[in-house]
Structure 1
């Protein structure tokens, strides 16, 4: 069954697609993510800025960006590229041409990248590592744990409570791979992916299947002996960090893997500017920073701070919004304007210049200026032309066009 496809901010009549039970599952996913993956209205369901994949029982939903009109492949190519560029997707054998082998499904591409690369690593042999074991043994081996021995064997002199190192394939690294592979084989619908995942699970047959978390992944220590696993383990972390899973009696009932495009767009812009700051003409740049608390309670962050070649301090606030989400004030509410004003006045040295940076759509660039004799703020509406900076034919950025676009955006003379 093909996935139900939503574009960002697209509305659909929910009872044409979902049962009330399935709608309740979507509400649960919203609660687990602590945000609105979907807005659930009386008659409609509305996608938000989150993109990705959701499985509810036998039904799958795909939410994809709508940067390039009427071109799903190009939208997903650019999304995958942004994930790679921001180092969220760090895979050795990464190629956007593989996307066309997986029937154009966003999440199946992730599974294919994971399974294909992991198989290449596992085929020469499964990785064994030393694992510290503690057990009550009939034989004394390794380190004798006196305290534990007294606790468990006070009346049994035939046992020895010991700690010893075992060189085994049943280690944390392989347990992570088996757990993630077991999840993916349950949610994949692609026959090639299922075949690869079955091969992986066969190789890892002697490894315990146990639940792992992102904290378990963070405990993995990489050395020259297991460095080749780092990209795959990073992909496991990416998958587990962005998913919610609900298990039934014997299988996964609901599964979601979602990204916030607001945050991804912000990080993408920041990393590009930082990498090319000399070519753009920027002296200093820093990423998201806590400016302080408004009314002592609400945290205020800016996305990007730069000092241009004219020594002007500028805050760049990225706004990933679709044309349908725009109103006469570029999608900004009165509260947003208050926020911009608070940004400019929050530091000891007032920052007068704020750029709101959008993906280019149907909006036109503009500016607003305010001065009451004491406080001054210049607010600029600027756009990144994704159509120009993305080279779909070669699946890469047009670096020079991107640099020129950023230069135009920070030109506030």
Structure 2
């Protein structure tokens, strides 16, 4: 008997089958503990194939094998109909904890990385340990969004003046002479008025309403559903628009609504296709996925901006953009480079850092540490183009590399006065990561 049939017999059909797997791990087909029915795996795999990340992130989102469903290099949530799959990053946690406790710890680290990467200020302390264990990443993000939106609305919904054109019996604002003569030449009892109206029905509030409507459709936690119903009531008089019609370009965040910046960023996270896609029909479902390579790069880059503030060093993310080659016949530049992180002293590039979301080994186990030859060639190209004295391949730390994150090896690039080093940083150390990154760049020593 499949798990969904067991739920029906138990009268628990309101509970959505929810599975959790770590990045690159497998869920074996079956109905036992830590297994997934083949029918569920097929539905989730079909949804993953329609994700914006299908074919990317190490071969797509999921590998639909003969005996198991395997996660790839993309993390997040896939939800279709009455079931969901949560993919968590492969982050090492303290031994001796239960699986639920380990997953809770990983969720905390992932949400922290998202907060840094998206420049969000999130109060994670308000979420109980039990919630971290029992709720998926999506439900936790929905909970945070509802709490922040409720708090912001207590201070008042943001308003702004919008231009209105109306035909009124008395003059309001200015008379639109052209429209007056075109429409009301024969009926002067109506005046073509043009005026500014202070209104709640703004592009920002329409985006907030769209987020509330979207989340109400996909949330399965009763508490979140209740909060979203309450928020929908508050936004009842705001125009409801499809996501494709939202005017993101008309939203202005200034001193009058600065406190809504985080909510605006979270709404983008939930609504825009950079992370999420929603399909309809028989394959209805929602995905909110993150490529760990990109997330790790953004997390480290933004952390470095904070770590090096006040040092006189500047940080550029995806900067440089110099070309490797130029055509002999017409001089056309070819093969543009985009180093993950450039550190500058004034206008001079002093350090190039490329982040790699993969596990390297200790030098005692492998003199090359499992570093990709392609990555080394890439850094050699950067050394040639940017003339920086230091190049760093930066990886996530894991216990196999020792107790402390460090610069693990240094090499001299042949023919250059440039040092290439491999280093790692402990992303599970939320409090100490800024100091470690600062030491890596400034001291050039163990980080």
Shared fold, TM over 0.5: yes
Is the 2:308–2:438 contact (alpha carbons within 8 Å) kept by the matching residues of 1? no
Taking structure 1 as the reference length, what is the TM-score of the superposition? 0.79
Q: Which residue among 138, 145, 152 is the counterpart of 1:121?
A: 152
Over 3 Å counting, the alpha-carbon distance change for 1:164 and 1:181 in structure 2 is same
SS at match of 1:193: helix
Shift of 1:358: 0.8
Summarize deviations over 1:206-258 as a string: whole Å, max 9, x none: 11111246973453234554343333223213333444333537x99222222
Over 3 Å counting, the alpha-carbon distance change for 1:218 and 1:378 in structure 2 is same
Worse-superposed segment, 193-202 or 151-160: 151-160
Shift of 1:200: 0.5
Matched, 1:383 2:424: yes
Shift of 1:188: 0.7
**1-side partners of 2:383 and 2:262: how far apart?**
40
Is the 1:7–1:66 contact (alpha carbons within 8 Å) kept by the matching residues of 2? yes
Is the 1:217–1:233 contact (alpha carbons within 8 Å) kept by the matching residues of 2? no
**2-side partners of 1:64 and 1:197: how far apart?**
25
Is the 2:73–2:291 contact (alpha carbons within 8 Å) kept by the matching residues of 1? yes
Q: Which residue pairs with 2:330 in the alignment?
A: none
Matched, 1:9 2:48: no
SS at match of 1:66: coil
Is the 1:213–1:240 contact (alpha carbons within 8 Å) kept by the matching residues of 2? no
Summarize deviations over 1:107-130 as a string: whole Å, max 9, x none: 111111111121223246544443
Shift of 1:352: 4.8
Q: Which residue pairs with 2:409 in the alignment?
A: 366
Is the 2:340–2:353 contact (alpha carbons within 8 Å) kept by the matching residues of 1? yes
Shift of 1:344: 0.5
Matched, 1:320 2:357: yes
Matched, 1:303 2:329: no
Over 3 Å counting, the alpha-carbon distance change for 1:132 and 1:99 in structure 2 is farther
Equivalent runs, 1:234-249 vs 2, <5 Å: 234-241=265-272, 242-248=274-280
Shift of 1:201: 0.5
**2-side partners of 1:128 and 1:106: how far apart?**
32
Worse-superposed segment, 47-56 or 127-136: 127-136
Q: Which residue pairs with 1:62 in the alignment?
A: 86
Number of aligned residues: 393
Which segments of 5 or more consecutive residues in structure 2 lack a partner in the other structure?
A: 1-15, 30-36, 94-98, 326-332, 403-407
Is the 1:54–1:255 contact (alpha carbons within 8 Å) kept by the matching residues of 2? yes
Q: Which residue among 346, 357, 361 is the counterpart of 2:385?
A: 346
Q: Which residue pairs with 2:218 in the alignment?
A: 187
Is the 1:384–1:406 contact (alpha carbons within 8 Å) kept by the matching residues of 2? no
Shift of 1:192: 0.8
**2-side partners of 1:19 and 1:155: how far apart?**
69
Taking structure 2 as the reference length, what is the TM-score of the superposition? 0.73
